[in-house]
Amino acid sequence: MITVNKFAKLFTAMLFVPALLIGSFLNVFSIQPTFAENALTREACANADEQEKAALGCNQSKQAPEVIQILINVVISIVGIIAIGMIVVAGQRYIVSNGDPGKIQAARNMIIYSLIGLVIAVLAFAIVNFVLGGIFSSGGTN
């Protein structure tokens, strides 16, 4: 016989694990354009102006600032996914607390701290993208 506690753990696992996997893989393995390079495209890129280079897909390699921004965004995304998972776990603990005031207070604190962590992760994501976008899009010109 499945008890309420076992059912709640099973339900949490069924929700949390797929959400964690899907969220992390969508961010890491997003589709990027791929451009084949051969002698013809190298010659065309060498003789093209900036607009033509953009249209031909020349210079598509990622620079160090872009790589750093991607890594920071992945880490912050993982932190956000963990915070959402903690909210789910805390909600499950709240549901199965059976009226025990200690367990209810622990679950409430877990929800509050997880929400604070989620807000910090979202703000960090926005700040990092804003600051790095402003620094690196200007190209170092004043």
68's tokens? 């750093």
Higher pLDDT, 130 or 3: 130
Give the model's pLDDT for residue 104. 92
Q: Is the pLDDT of residue 92 over 70?
A: yes
Residue 30 is given by DSSP the state: -
Distance of alpha carbon 138 from alpha carbon 140, whole angstroms? 5
Q: Is the pLDDT of residue 82 over 70?
A: yes
Other beta carbons within 10 Å of 81: 20
20's tokens? 């964690």
21's tokens? 């996997």
Please report which confidence band the pLDDT of residue 140 belongs to, taking 50, 70 and 90 as the band edges. very low
- Mean pLDDT computed over every residue of the chain: 74
CA dist list (Å): 82 to 78, 79, 103, 118, 120: 6, 5, 21, 9, 13
Amino acid making up residue 51: Q
Distance of alpha carbon 16 from alpha carbon 116, whole angstroms? 19
This prediction has a pTM of: 0.53
Choice among 2-11, 22-31, 42-51, 60-69 with the minimum mean pLDDT: 22-31
Residue 135 is given by DSSP the state: H
